[in-house]
Amino acid sequence: MTLPATPSFRLDGRTALVAGASSGIGAAAAVALAEAGAEVWLAARRAAELEALAAALAAAGHKAHALPLDIADIKATEAALASLPPFGILVNSAGLARHSAALDTTPEDFDAAAGLNFRAAYFLTRAVAGRLIAAGKPGSLINITSQMAHVGGIDRAVYAATKHAVEGMTKSMAIEWGRHGIRVNTIAPTFIRTALTTETFANPERARWIEDKIKLGRIGEVTDIMGPVVFLASDAAALITGTSLIVDGGWTAD
């Protein structure tokens, strides 16, 4: 009897671009990809943090490069990618939140959130895919969305709308680029403990709401996202495209 072989989770020989890599989920994703063998390019606006992460990864024996970049600047992003080899892996964790009641949303807050969370994500994903198609290479493109891309939330009308939009673009891009061997997916985390969520957890009412909704009874950590990133980037997920891997502790189960 010939036993089937489990596809490899290793990423040796592959190059990865991680946007939003200066902290939080993005930094953890970069570490996970590097540990799995990928050569990782770290993109974000904060150059000092990128250099520190790249140095730490290099000290651990991994290949990593800092790429100071604001992905909301579409032309600059496309120019930067044009000067580099095609990336077989993309993880886009860049994003922001301007939470408010829907009646209090300002056009400025709407534009800021939509500009980075959706517009920049759209054109970054397109730019990476375009380079792969031109080179005749396959790839795995991952955008970090949120459980709010599947439900709604208090004071989160704009944020949820931008994340729902990324889910929609993911399905359409997956349909268009599947014939090129390019997979497009999202990872949708619950509330993850990072510097950006400190204010939310400091609000007792919001903290109780979160604790009640997460069925596993704990707040998410960045380490909870590292495995899903490697999985979707690897051959273990070779037939997965156009979908969302929801890492929410059961939030969206009801």
Neighbours of 240 (CB within 10 A): 14
122 in catalytic set: no
Distant-in-sequence, close-in-space partners of 12: CB < 8 Å, separation ≥ 6: 36, 37, 38
Of the residues 87, 118, 123, 159, only one is catalytic, namely: 159
86: its two tokens: 């095609």
221: its two tokens: 């950590």
Write out the DSSP string of 52-108: HHHHHHHHTT--EEEEE--TTSHHHHHHHHHTSPPPSEEEE-------B-GGG--HH
Residue 183 β-bridge partners: 140
* Cβ–Cβ < 8 Å for 96, 116: yes
Report the C-alpha gap between 57 and 245 in whole angstroms.
27
Active-site residue list: 159
